Each structure stands twice: as C-alpha cells, then as structure tokens.
Structure 1
Amino acid sequence: MVHVAIAGGSGPEVAREVIDALLATNNHELTVLSRAEAPKSTTIPKVSWQVVDYHDKTSLVKTLQGVHTLLSFIQPLSDPNQTAQKNLIDAAITAGVKRFAPSEYGSKETADMPWWSGKASIRSYLAHINAESTVIEYTLFQPGLFLNYLAHPYRTSRHLAPLQTVFDFEHRRAIVVKDHLNAIMTFTSVTDLAAIIALAINSPAKWPLTSGISGNRLTVAQILAIGERVRGRPFTVEEVHLEDLERGELKTSWGLQVVHRAVAGEEEAAVKAMLEQVAVGTLLGCVKGAWESGEEMNRLFPEYEFEDAEGFLRGVWEGKP
C-alpha cells in the first residue's frame, strides 16, 4: 500500500476513471490535489481532498510529504508555460516522491498538435532533471486515442465525456488522408488505461520512460471496415491531401462539432478554429505515427485482456439508427 496523490483529480473525466480503478484495488491511500474546495456533489468516498496553490512551492512540498506516487492530470491548455506542473515536479522532488506521471494520456508525439504543446515542454523538463542521474522515476502513459470516442455521442464510461473524431460512426462518415489508409492508430478504452495505471502503481518494477498502452492497433482502413460492419452499411469517406493539412487547411464538407470541456468558454469562432486545428493535427499525427502507441505496458502485464475494438463498438452501435 502506498500513498497516491492525484493532481488535477477534481476533473470529471480521465482522472476520475483512474481514481475509480485505484479505489477498486483497495490497496492505496488516495489524495486529490485541487485548486478549489471539494464540491459536495463530487465528494469521493475513501479519498481525501487537499486544496493547493501550484504557485506556492513551499506549501506543495508540505502537502506532498509522505506521497509515494504522484499522477498529474493538470490540463496543459489551462497551465500557461506549464508553470503549475513544473512547480509540482520541483516540489515532488524536494518532498521525496518516488514516482511521477505527467499529464499525458494520449498520443506518442505532439508536434502537429499545438493544443498539446505543453506536454512536449514537460517531457523536456523531466528529461533535463534526469539527464545525469535518476532524480525522480517517471513515465509517460500513452494509450493513443480513446476507443470510447468512436461511440460518440453515446457515453460508454462513468466519467469520460463523448467526443467527436474524424471517424464519425454516428453519421457513417470519416475524414482520411489520401493514400494513407495503411497509417496505424492505437485505440484503447479509458477503462483499460485506468486499469493499467493501477497495475503499474501496484508493480514494483521500475517504470519505463514511456508507458505505451496498446489496446487495439488498427490501420485507418481497418477502422473504416469495422465501422461499416458495426453500422451496417458503407461510410461516406472524404479524402484530404497531406499538403493541405501541412498548410493547416481542412478542405471537407464537415468538421468537428463537439466542444471538449478543456476549451469550454471560448468564443464561437475561436472554438470552431480550435476544432479545425484538432482535426488537422489528428490527421497529420495519424500519417506521421503519432497515434501508434508503444507496447511497454502490454509486455509488462501480458495477462491483461484489453477491450476488443470491434466487440466494444458492436455493443455500442447494435440497434442504433
């Protein structure tokens, strides 16, 4: 049993899925770190709540005393210059925290995804800290794209909100890059991500720098084929050119419509531009291998059975119009 702290754990999505998985093990002491007081409506049984100021390193060090593992879910978009997460890392080192996982939980690379540029900054920061010796053990949990998003608009987990992607199963349509149907993407359910993180915390094995989690390794062509099988008829597929994407242009008849909570509150035009940027970055990342996760966690936990993409999606879409 170890003391696990979850920074940004007050968020209602991925962090809460991980908290549920850790609670299910009944093995650890859990503390949520949040900028705000715990709302009565989101009180989590068996989890303590600590209000923190990420700009007060002295206070953070005190809060982290006795913590063994620190998981960060601080949203990069809400952390200008990644100051909060860098202060958290510094405080964790001073407090003697043994293990740390930065706010990742997505793609392997972020070069074409400016909304995730903060992740690259934190990766560099951690690499610099450990350049000469291991100052703090850390890993990057990377599950690829959440399989749950292909169920949009239906909710398929307790906390993760539905999110539209370029593979729109609801309307039987997709946006793909011309001549790149063999590009590989990894799709992992958020439940599997949470379960693997819980297993990694329980494991005494040293964490690798990258913890790729590969629930389903699929080509774009395979994703479309699964979609057509579970939805019962062909998809309308729009092809875009790589050159247009490199210029930041998305020449399609439709685009992403759903606003993720991370960009909630933006003006309508800014939101539309942001979602177009997300579609462009997702497609570029697909072609360049950013969504093809490694299999470090699959090898560490070979007995774990991941949710099968087609079976999962058939269960969601069967009987749906």
Structure 2
Amino acid sequence: MVKVAVAGGSGQVAREVIDALVAAGKHKITVLSRSKASPDGTVALGVGWRVVDYSDTGALVEALRGTHTLLSFVQLLSDPGCQSQKNLIDACVTAGVKRFAPSEYGYGSVGSVNLPFWKGKEAVREYLKEVNEKEKVLEYTLFMPGLFLDYLATPYQTAKHIAPLDLIFDYQNCRQFMVEGHEDAIVTLTTAADTAAIVARAVDHDGEWPVNGGIRGNRVTFSQIVKLGEKVRGRPFTINKVKLEDLQAGVLKTPWILARKHSAVSDEQAPEFSTAVPIGMMLTSVSGAWDVGDEFNRLFPDYQFTQMEPFLANVWEGKP
C-alpha cells in the first residue's frame, strides 16, 4: 500500500479514477483541493480530503510528504500559465514523491497548436522535461486515452461521473463533421471506466512508467465511426464535410454547432468554444493527434477493453 494524492479531485475524470482506486482497495488516497467541502460521497468512500493553496509551494511540499504518487486533474482553464501544476511538480521533487501524472487524459503527443484551450498540456510537458533534464528526479506519464467513447452516447450518460458532451460525432441526430479528403483520419475512443481502470493498474505497477502513456480502447477512422453509427442507429448519417483550408483560417462552415458545453467552460466562453472545439478536433485529427499509442495496453495485455459496437448498440437500442 502506498499514499496516493489526487490534485483537483472533485472533477469528473478525477472522480472516475478515485472510484477505481477505491475499488482496488490497495492504497491510501487523499484528495488535494482548493475547496473546503468535498463532493457528496467522496469522504464516505474512505478518501481523505486536504485543502491546499496551489500558489504556496511550501505548503504543497508539506501536504505531499510521504506521498508515492500524485495524479493531477487540475482544470487547465482555471490554471493560467499552468502555475498550479508547475508548483505541484516542484513540490513533488522537494517532498520526494516518486511519480507524477499531469492533467492530460486526451489526445496524443502531437502539439496543441490547434487546441489553444489545451495549450497548458504542452507547457506542463515541457516543464517536466526541464525538471528531468540533468537527471531523472520525477517519474511521470502522460495518460492519453483519446476521446471518451461515452461521449458517443450523448445525451445519455454511460459513466458514473463523466457527463454527456456534444462532439463532432453526433449519434443522437445521426450526423457528423468530417474534413474533406481526410475521411480516414484516426481517432482513439476509450470508455471512462476503462481509462480509470488502467490508471488504477498503473498506480499498482512496480515497473517504470512509460512517458507516453497511450490507452487505446478502440482505434477507428472517421468513416468507420459513421458506418457504425448508421448500423446501431438504423438510419443513414448526414455528413458535413469541411475544407481543410477553411479550418486553418479559423472558419467553420457547418449547418450546426456544438450546443452542449463542458462544465469547465463558462457561459461567456461557450460561443467561442462551440467553434474552437470542432475546428481544433478536426485539425488535430488530420495531424494524427488522436491516434494515441498503446503503451499501457502492452503493459497490461490481459486487460479487456470495452469494444465500440456492443457498447454503442446497447446504448442506442430502442432509442428514437
């Protein structure tokens, strides 16, 4: 048993992972949070709760004394300049924390130039490289499951904590965006439950973590997502193809936009994100950003990942 700290533990992805760690029953878990109140049920699960100030590195060091692994889920939109995560990294080194996982849980190792709202991921990756430049002082991995397969069930919720979210793949209304000439761009889709289960296994793992921590549930093309959608929905999809040059110019020429926003996006930010998200997703898919590796698949070859077709067939059976 080791001590595991979870920064930003009240978020959706964090709570999925916390549940998986609690179910494993192998470690002492403490949530680090700015909030003085824990979400309903977290403390009842036997998880500790510690209020921290992410701007106070000295206090973070004290909070992390004796910690083996720190999993960060700090919300990037609320961490200007990524200072909170940089302070956590510094505190880990000083406190002697062995392992750190930054707030990733998305696309692969391709840069975030077309995903400005995720620019912080790149900054933290670079900071971790700098910290370990002369010698390895902090082991880390980038947990990358691609997109959550659960989002293709929107508006139905299939994960305990991950809420439905509109994407460029809309199974409810049988429609999808696609870049003209790039119909075979790759997307990795992994359920939230599988992602959490792999993270829990990674915490248990005695060997060294891979830096690029790909978690590959399903590796499919845009065209295959349409084909499967038509099969499980029993009707043809409307494909809205966009030109690459329009996306590169920041222009989205589509008859519909993403209406459902992520909980981290404010009402003021929502109009901008309804355009920036689909443009960013399509541009990065063309560059291969969502074709994540299978590093953790190979590390845990016995794990059986949820497959798209039976999962989505079960979700959409009998739905209008």
TM-score where L is the length of structure 2: 0.97
Cα distance in 1 for residues equivalent to 2:272 and 2:91: 36
Deviation readout 1:201-249 (Å, 9 max, x if unpaired): 1110100111001000001111100000000011000100000000111
Q: Do the aligned partners of 1:212 and 1:296 also contact (CA within 8 Å) in 2?
A: yes
Aligned partner of 1:92 in structure 2 is 92
Deviation readout 1:79-125 (Å, 9 max, x if unpaired): 00011110011011100000000000000132210000000000000
Cα distance in 2 for residues equivalent to 1:186 and 1:133: 33
Q: Do the aligned partners of 1:183 and 1:289 also contact (CA within 8 Å) in 2?
A: yes
Q: Where do 1:70-89 residues align within 5 Å?
A: 70-89=70-89
Residue type of the alignment partner of 1:307: T
Cα distance in 2 for residues equivalent to 1:204 and 1:279: 39
Q: Do the aligned partners of 1:165 and 1:256 also contact (CA within 8 Å) in 2?
A: yes
Q: Where do 1:215-230 residues align within 5 Å?
A: 215-230=217-232
Aligned partner of 2:143 in structure 1 is 141
Q: Do the aligned partners of 1:10 and 1:33 also contact (CA within 8 Å) in 2?
A: no
Aligned partner of 1:295 in structure 2 is 294
Cα distance in 2 for residues equivalent to 1:198 and 1:134: 23
Distance 1:99 1:40, change over 3 A: closer
- The offset of 1:149, in angstroms, is 0.4
Q: Do the aligned partners of 1:226 and 1:310 also contact (CA within 8 Å) in 2?
A: yes
Aligned residue for 2:199, secondary structure, equals helix
- Selected match of 1:124 from 122, 126, 133: 126
Aligned partner of 1:177 in structure 2 is 179
Count of residues paired in the alignment? 317
Q: Where in structure 1 do 4 or more consecutive aligned residues deviate above 4 Å?
A: none
Residue type of the alignment partner of 1:170: Q
Aligned partner of 1:65 in structure 2 is 65
Cα distance in 1 for residues equivalent to 2:299 and 2:39: 38
Deviation readout 1:234-280 (Å, 9 max, x if unpaired): 1000100000000111100001001111113x32xx41122210010
Q: Do the aligned partners of 1:212 and 1:295 also contact (CA within 8 Å) in 2?
A: yes
Aligned partner of 1:237 in structure 2 is 239
- Identical aligned pairs, as a percentage? 54
Q: Where do 1:1-321 residues align within 5 Å?
A: 1-11=1-11, 13-39=12-38, 41-44=40-43, 45-108=45-108, 109=110, 110-264=112-266, 266-267=267-268, 270-321=269-320
Cα distance in 1 for residues equivalent to 2:193 and 2:199: 10
Q: For structure 1, which runs of at least 5 residues remain unmatched after alignment?
A: none
Q: For structure 2, which runs of at least 5 residues remain unmatched after alignment?
A: none
